[in-house]
Amino acid sequence: MKLASLKGGRDGRLVVVSNDLTRYTDAARVAPTLQAALDDWDKCEAGLRELAQGLETGSVPVERFHERECASPLPRAYQWADGSAYINHVELVRKARGAEVPESFYEDPLMYQGGSDSFLGPRDDIVMAQDEGWGVDMEAEIAVVTGDVPMGVTPEEAKDHIRLIMLVNDVSLRGLIPGELAKGFGFFQSKPSSAFSPVAVTPDALGEAWDGGAVHLPLLVRYNGEPFGQANAGKDLTFNFPQLIAHAAKTRPLSAGTIIGSGTVSNKLDGGPGKAIAEGGDGYSCIAEIRMIETIYEGEAKTPFMKFGDTVEIKMKDGEGRSIFGAISQTVAKYERK
Amino acid sequence: MKLASLKGGRDGRLVVVSNDLTRYTDAARVAPTLQAALDDWDKCEAGLRELAQGLETGSVPVERFHERECASPLPRAYQWADGSAYINHVELVRKARGAEVPESFYEDPLMYQGGSDSFLGPRDDIVMAQDEGWGVDMEAEIAVVTGDVPMGVTPEEAKDHIRLIMLVNDVSLRGLIPGELAKGFGFFQSKPSSAFSPVAVTPDALGEAWDGGAVHLPLLVRYNGEPFGQANAGKDLTFNFPQLIAHAAKTRPLSAGTIIGSGTVSNKLDGGPGKAIAEGGDGYSCIAEIRMIETIYEGEAKTPFMKFGDTVEIKMKDGEGRSIFGAISQTVAKYERK
């Protein structure tokens, strides 16, 4: 089943989308918003699945689905917690500055609490007061949406609390990160509003690509129209989603609609740093990573961060080449106070 | 005007409370929940104020108000961002471990992104799997609730976006903090669910105690029934709420219902660390602080963190000794998975 929130109001309007992303049907009679459906999932799921089936058989009213009309599936959420499951990304950051990765990082997930009150839509501009000055970067990731999760949940139990899967652009301001992390309290200004894919899907919609813990497909990133990344989200992850959920729920319960992110998807190549797609590698899911590889091999970073007008597209295709979640497609633009 | 959310459903039931906290009237005809009222404040405020006036004149239906029936004013919120406005607290932490406070801390607020999906009610137990092992502690603070705040707001403009004021117990797990901060991504497991005062009040309800930036009254903390803290929330703050809001909104807008905290309220005594109330001082708003003072003067911390069964009460009184927000009153209890 595929769900989306068409723009309108603070929480959008819930619709069920056809598997091929061409049609939708309104879900208002089941739940007005995705948050409302998640709040009462046991009651709403069957009704939403009926609509999904009706869409495929043509037994419900349909409208043409346009990804550009979507807000993020949860335009605002009660929680956005982002992990760092792909340690390769962390290893590169550390290697570029000559530091070791602590042993504990392989047993205890890194996770930060993100802002969740004002997500961008998947086609919204990334509007910032500065571009290169703040080091605007994308981070292409996978995220899951949970139901209610009890405090102290085990990874094994956590599997059953995953309701939906989607893609994320975890926009990051690299220029603000060092100062902010040096203060010791984690990210805040350096992590502005994130954007999510037009469509969120239930785990079964991924078929064999979902193994209960991760999505085994390449995450396709284009930067200014050129292929930039195709790292496989099912490879090189040190922690899977159930483990990340258990980490988040160690000392408090998680409410329905909690979003848990994977961190930047990143693959190794022959056990070491990857290569650009043009050089036969799987590329990168953020600019910081190519800059780290440049630093390691060439002594300094050469690829600049995003400038006003630069574009990023993030999507994922199934085995037959069809877009699963629709595309996040964003342009960096200058913010002017009105 | 004073507002509360009676327990019921995920978001509680919005009521308007009399100034003396003895009576309430249902606000459903204006807005079903506090979040709904904040989402549409310009339309709802007048209706809520009419009910508040009706409560005082006896022209609306009234019920007896019981603080114990309250959820936190926002039982779940889209954002909880907690500052560290009272640098004395930070200075003590650093002094206890022989470190300097960086100059930048006096110009650039410390702030962390907190979890906001599952707040405790003001009388709910603080349920934890471990007590001393995790170093359970209270942090008594003030918080404001904002309306929609544009990105890049100035402190001067931010004043007008403050809708409500309330008290917080920012529960902290001191035993988990060092390991978590060492990982570099800030707090997560070390900051479990916070609790807020039964009542949230509009700035005008504080009269002269609110100067547009801070609350100039002592924050009263009792620990196991004994006076523990009475630090004045209007003294020794390096940053006021408008400055904290501007900090939070530097790179993204804040959505209506965003909660911004002051950090642990902490006063100096003659320019140095404070004293216990029993010794003629204004005491402490968290246990960590008295432990730091013990470390500075006696070489080691002596006061243990909270154990199962320990209680904390947080309240604030107006000039005539009347409770303004009602009391946060919580007991630490052992968590058992069901």
Parse chain A into domains and list their residue ranges: 1-65, 74-334
Q: What six digits make up the tokens of A81? A: 């917690």
Concatenated DSSP letters for B172-224? EETTTHHHHHHTTS--STTS---EE-S-EE-GGGGGGGB-SS-B-SEEEEEET
Stretch 179-218 of chain B: residues touching chain A, C-beta under 8 Å: 179, 181, 183-190, 192-193
Q: Residue B105 and residue A254: Cα distance in Å, rounded? A: 32
Residues 6+ apart with CB under 8 A from A138: A169, A170, A171, A172, A221, A223, A285, A286, A287, A306, A312, A314, A330
Stretch 296-325 of chain B: residues touching chain A, C-beta under 8 Å: none
End-to-end CA distance of chain B: 40
Please give, rounded to a whole number of angstroms, the shortest distance from the CA of B276 to a CA of chain A. 28
Residues 6+ apart with CB under 8 A from A142: A165, A166, A167, A168, A214, A215, A219, A233, A261, A262, A265
Please give, rounded to a whole number of angstroms, the shortest distance from the CA of B254 to a CA of chain A. 7
CB contact under 8 A, B193 and A252: yes
Q: Residue B266 and residue B213: Cα distance in Å, rounded? A: 16
Q: pLDDT tens track of chain A, all 338 residues?
A: 999 999 999 999 999 999 999 999 999 999 999 999 999 999 999 999 999 999 999 999 999 999 999 999 999 999 999 999 999 888 887 887 788 888 888 999 999 999 999 999 999 999 999 998 999 999 999 999 999 999 999 999 999 999 999 999 999 999 999 999 988 899 999 999 999 999 999 999 999 999 999 999 999 999 999 999 999 999 999 999 999 999 999 999 999 999 999 999 999 998 888 899 999 999 999 999 999 999 988 999 999 999 999 999 999 999 999 999 999 999 999 999 87
Model confidence pLDDT, tens digit, residues B146-171? 999 999 999 999 999 999 999 999 99
**Which of B104, B105, B65, B61 has its CA nearest to residue B83?**
B105
Please give, rounded to a whole number of angstroms, the shortest distance from the CA of B89 to a CA of chain A. 15
What's the pLDDT score for residue A99? 82
| Residues above pLDDT 70, as percent of chain B | 100
CB contact under 8 A, B116 and A78: yes
In this structure, chain A runs to a length of 338
What's the pLDDT score for residue B102? 87
Q: Which candidate from B10, B104, B188 shows the least CB-CB separation from A113?
A: B188
Q: How many CA atoms lie within 13 A of A37 on its CB side?
A: 31
Stretch 141-180 of chain A: residues touching chain B, C-beta under 8 Å: 150-152, 173, 176, 179
Dihedral (C-alpha) B234, B235, B239, B243: value to the nearest 10 degrees? Answer: 20
What's the pLDDT score for residue B271? 83
CA-nearest residue of chain A to B130? A251
CATH architecture of B74-334: Alpha-Beta Complex (3.90)
* Segment holding B89, helix H or strand E: helix B87-96
Tally Cβ neighbours within 10 Å of residue B71: 27
User: Which residues does chain A have within 8 Å of residue B183's beta carbon, measured at their own beta carbons?
Assistant: 102, 104-105, 108, 110
The answer to whether the CB of A25 falls within 8 A of the CB of A60 is yes
Q: Does A281 touch chain B (CB under 8 A)?
A: no
The answer to whether the CB of A37 falls within 8 A of the CB of A31 is yes
Dihedral (C-alpha) B299, B300, B302, B305: value to the nearest 10 degrees? Answer: 140
Concatenated DSSP letters for B138-184? --EEEEEEE--B-TT--HHHHGGGEEEEEEEE--EETTTHHHHHHTT
Q: Residue A329 and residue A333: Cα distance in Å, rounded? A: 13
What's the pLDDT score for residue A102? 87
Q: Does B255 touch chain A (CB under 8 A)?
A: yes
Q: Which candidate from B111, B116, B118 shows the least CB-CB separation from A188?
A: B111
Q: What six digits make up the tokens of A30? A: 């089941």
Residues of chain B with pLDDT under 70: none
**Whole-model pTM?**
0.98
Q: What six digits make up the tokens of B203? A: 């700035």
